[in-house]
Structure 1
Amino acid sequence: MAMWGGRFTEASLAEFKAFNDSIGFDYQLAQQDIAASKVWAAGLAEANLITAQEAEQLQQALQKLALKLEQDPTLPVDSGEEDIHSWVEVQLTEQLGAVARKLHTGRSRNDLVATDLRLWARDAAQAVRHSLLASVQALINFAEAAGDAVMPGYTHLQRAQPVMVAHWALAYVEMLKRDVGRLDDAVARLNVCPLGAGALAGTGVPVDRNWLAIELGFDSAAANSLDAVSDRDFVVELSAAASLCMTHVSRLSEDVVFFCSGEAGFFKLGDAISSGSSLMPQKKNPDVFELLRGKSGRILGQLVAILHVLKGLPLAYNKDMQEDKQGFFDLMQQWQQSLQVLATVLPHLTVKVDVCRQAAELGYSNATDLADYLVGKGIPFRDAHHLSGQLVLTASEQQIPLEQLTLSQMQQVSPVIRDDVYPALTLEAGMARRNALGGTSPAQVMSALTHAKVWLAAQQ
């Protein structure tokens, strides 16, 4: 049953109906539509536009419908109705007759769908937040389990300086902490209520819009009716937050794929999160991390799509805005699932401590420590950098580590070098010197781990 048929004398073309109807995806807003309708019925009764008895009938019928949908959320899909709002009205009319037809007094599908989508987005954001915190917890656990393990840090995908494995994990904790903040900011701006804004100019019935907002858990009512029905900033903000968060997940996944490769071999994939090859028996593939990496592209695409839908729209509501849902539903669901999977699979990664340490000791990653040693002997850093580079060249020509150069070889480059250079070139000494805030020294990493735990406890 169309909600707009009075001025039409011909039925819709089947092709138009199939193209126009949104019930195939906006059925996911059914519970939110029912919640908004319950509050609206109460508001109509308070304004004496329906009787208390009619309001109670509507409340009971809506509750009955909500219970049916709990049993089968896809119930509306094959109904032939245009959208979820039409389906709810038809279901109520079958139960209550004319009373049901009073429910839409003073409201439009424009303010109703805007309210429904905000309610859905708020619930979905809460599920994402839970999975984000679970991922943070998994990274903290990974950092703790890594203990004092050391690995090479990279720039340009070349070995650079040694870092603690825990320091690597805590870098991603910092990223996900920012993602939680962005999510919370988006939800704070999302949490205003469009209900009562009507089609575009505001409702013509004397309902208390602030009361409606509070009853639905919003902070306030939307201040401008034109903006209320046409605003999809919250869809864009959550999509942008998802895109950046999944970019972080993608970077983490790329690290893990590389660290689990035969070329690096720093981490070991548990069998429970690995897959094999249909042809090559020896293969153990990091498919789950490759999928996480791939999901970021899908989610970013949904952000670009909604921005393109909105960029040329005049005020107020336009049917283009029906395209705000399918991609957004997919994005929020994929975001939440990806984070939950990440939290689930991280405990199945183990650190190959000996391999990591050996790799950290190679590649002249202590060259900066040698330069710092020379600075400590009074040589300006730029000169120390040059001298250290000369010694790296000498060592690389002999295919030995820096610390295996003899003292006489080192003194040929700089006579200030003494026997105390060798303790300064150890991994432990190099990391201990990185003791400024945020560094990779064991003391700083332990402090960062403690702060991460405190932050996480405050989020629960």
Structure 2
Amino acid sequence: MALWGGRFEEAVSEVTQEFGASLPIDRHLYRQDIAGSKAHATMLAAQGIISEEDRDAICAGLDGIQADIDAGAFSFDINDEDIHMSIESELTRRIGEAGGRLHTGRSRNDQVATDTRLAAKALAKQLMEDNLGLRRALVEAADAAGDTILPGMTHLQHAQPVLFAHQLLAYVWMLTRDFGRLRAAFDAADASPLGAAALAGTTYPLDRQMTAEALGFSRVIENSLDAVSDRDFLLDLEYACSVMAVHLSRLSEEIVLWSSQEFGFITLSDAFSTGSSIMPQKKNPDFAELIRGKTGRVVGDLVQLLMTCKGLPLAYNKDLQEDKEGALDAAHTLDQCLTVMRGMVSTWKVNAGRMRAVMHRGHLAATDVADYLAKRGMPFREAHAVVGHLVLEAEKAGCDISELPIETFRAASDLFGDDVVGAFDLDAIVAARTTRGGTARAAVAEQRRAVEDALAADEAALAGLSAVVEMGEGTRSVL
């Protein structure tokens, strides 16, 4: 009979037992569950609620169970329903009566909330490490790009020339914001619900601060109802995962385009490409496409949890059993995506010559030609119209605006002189964008210093995080 079966005259049916069991998912949280139980037993003994002998037996028994699970020598029984009951029933079988005292002063409600928060902290910490690794790879790629320029685009149309390094650093800044969201998710999870019991607290003289400190939590949740029912921290984690997945999807789309025959800006390493079963010439950016595709999965995990939490009355409801699968899946999926993206960025070959060759398409100098007129007194809106007409003339002639004869420019405005050809110099166009955050080499160098400062700050923040139960394989999804 189940550990809660005293009030029941018959067992649940086989189909409902299987339907209601969370063990296939929460078994991945066994390390967190055992850590929480050891902290709880130690506190119970310190408070005189159980004996020191019982504490020692409980902790030794739990260590033995963890060693068996680590070694793959532990047999999980679906009839145990969840990881908490599985471990507790085995503990009682191994050490006898002392095992039955472990659950004094707690409920599965605060127990599972504790396990999930420990796992969320570990997952966020792992993803922060991954985030820093990809940012470093992108910075190294930007440094290696040097003065390479490519056509900057809006609406996927040639717009203005930019340094390739500038383009890559834009993604570094996206990932910097992602790190902040992960840090916020870590902080949201960094509060202990242990000791809240089922929903109302307990009559035992528990020291909740003691267990919080033992488990590496920075604080105790102040309201027992909130402690067992809150899953905002998982929403924060899955939101952070979703936004970062969207950013990786955007970069993946660029990689798919850049590596195509039409663009040819980069060549992906063979290690991060695949071929075709029928077309021997193919080299496909499959892994960039997979990252782009897996973004929907990560976002879907967030939507699932939002809908699960919607409309739940206080306090705990069985709906919340559905909270962990999506979080583990989202974090594991994103962990893989970050690893693969880092590999692609670190090993691609940049084809600077190809980028340069396509710069004379799309009238990339048009804005600077308009600025040429504006700097000579013509209102910019009028200059915009004049240059727009010149672009039309170039389109009709089948050439770039820079290839129009000087007579065409003079016919459009007497403000044009022979020096207008300086407005067509792509390197000069890039070098002129010296405003903060611009694409000029000097501005990018200043940005690079800011990027390094942000990286150093985030690395220090990660190193200073409070202790967490190590993620290891125990909290990685195997879905």
Query: Shorter-chain-normalised TM-score: which range?
Result: over 0.9
Report deviation, 1:405: 2.0
Q: Which residue of 1 is the match for residue 66 of structure 2?
A: 66
Q: Distance in 2 between matches of 1:435 and 1:261?
A: 32
Q: Distance in 2 between matches of 1:24 and 1:381?
A: 66
Q: Contact (CA 8 Å) 2:365, 2:424: kept in 1 or not? A: yes
Q: Contact (CA 8 Å) 1:267, 1:349: kept in 2 or not? A: yes
Report deviation, 1:452: 1.4
Report deviation, 1:249: 0.4
After the TM superposition, which segments of 4 or more aligned residues of structure 1 sit over 3 Å from their partners? 74-80
Q: Output the TM-score relative to the length of structure 1.
A: 0.97
Report deviation, 1:32: 0.4
Report deviation, 1:95: 1.8
1:223 paired with 2:200, answer no
Q: Percent identity?
A: 45
Aligned residue-pair number: 459
Report deviation, 1:335: 1.2
Q: Which residue of 1 is the match for residue 24 of structure 2?
A: 24
1:24 is matched by which residue type in structure 2?
P
Deviates more, 1:262-271 or 1:123-132: 262-271
Q: Distance in 2 between matches of 1:76 and 1:265?
A: 54
2:343 is matched by which residue type in structure 1?
T
Q: Contact (CA 8 Å) 2:161, 2:364: kept in 1 or not? A: yes
Q: Distance in 1 between matches of 2:11 and 2:269?
A: 60
Q: Which residue of 2 is the match for residue 207 of structure 1?
A: 206
Within 5 Å, which residues of 2 pair with 1:42-441?
Answer: 42-72=42-72, 75-78=74-77, 80-441=79-440
Report deviation, 1:282: 0.9
Q: Distance in 1 between matches of 2:424 and 2:281?
A: 39
Report deviation, 1:157: 1.1
Report deviation, 1:429: 1.5
Q: Distance in 1 between matches of 2:46 and 2:340?
A: 47
Q: Contact (CA 8 Å) 1:23, 1:76: kept in 2 or not? A: no
Report deviation, 1:67: 2.0
Report deviation, 1:404: 2.1
Q: Which residue of 1 is the match for residue 4 of structure 2?
A: 4
1:325 is matched by which residue type in structure 2?
K
SS of match in other structure, 1:159: strand
Show CA shifts across 1:319-355 (max 9, x none): 0110111111111111112111111221121211111
Q: Contact (CA 8 Å) 1:27, 1:76: kept in 2 or not? A: no
Deviates more, 1:346-355 or 1:304-313: 346-355
Q: Distance in 1 between matches of 2:379 and 2:373?
A: 8
Q: Contact (CA 8 Å) 2:65, 2:74: kept in 1 or not? A: no
Show CA shifts across 1:346-369 (max 9, x none): 112121111111222211011001
2:64 is matched by which residue type in structure 1?
K
SS of match in other structure, 1:217: coil
Q: Distance in 2 between matches of 1:94 and 1:391?
A: 87
Q: Output the TM-score relative to the length of structure 2.
A: 0.94
Show CA shifts across 1:273-323 (max 9, x none): 110000111111000000000111000001000011110111000101101
Report deviation, 1:79: 5.6
Q: Distance in 1 between matches of 2:239 and 2:137?
A: 24
Q: Contact (CA 8 Å) 2:21, 2:78: kept in 1 or not? A: no
2:41 is matched by which residue type in structure 1?
A
Q: Distance in 1 between matches of 2:330 and 2:265?
A: 32
Report deviation, 1:76: 4.9
Show CA shifts across 1:33-61 (max 9, x none): 10000110011111211111211111221
Q: Distance in 1 between matches of 2:251 and 2:110?
A: 41
Show CA shifts across 1:401-432 (max 9, x none): 22222222211111111122112221111112
Report deviation, 1:85: 0.6
Report deviation, 1:70: 2.2
Q: Distance in 2 between matches of 1:108 and 1:138?
A: 46
Q: Which residue of 1 is the match for residue 469 of structure 2?
A: none
Report deviation, 1:453: 2.2
Show CA shifts across 1:221-242 (max 9, x none): 1110000000000111111111
Q: Distance in 2 between matches of 1:77 and 1:6?
A: 23
Aligned in 2, Cα 1:77/1:143: closer, same or farther, shift over 3 Å?
farther
2:198 is matched by which residue type in structure 1?
A
Report deviation, 1:78: 4.4
Q: Distance in 2 between matches of 1:267 and 1:75?
A: 49
Q: Distance in 1 between matches of 2:242 and 2:15?
A: 35
Q: Which residue of 1 is the match for residue 464 of structure 2?
A: none
Report deviation, 1:204: 2.0
Deviates more, 1:443-452 or 1:284-293: 443-452
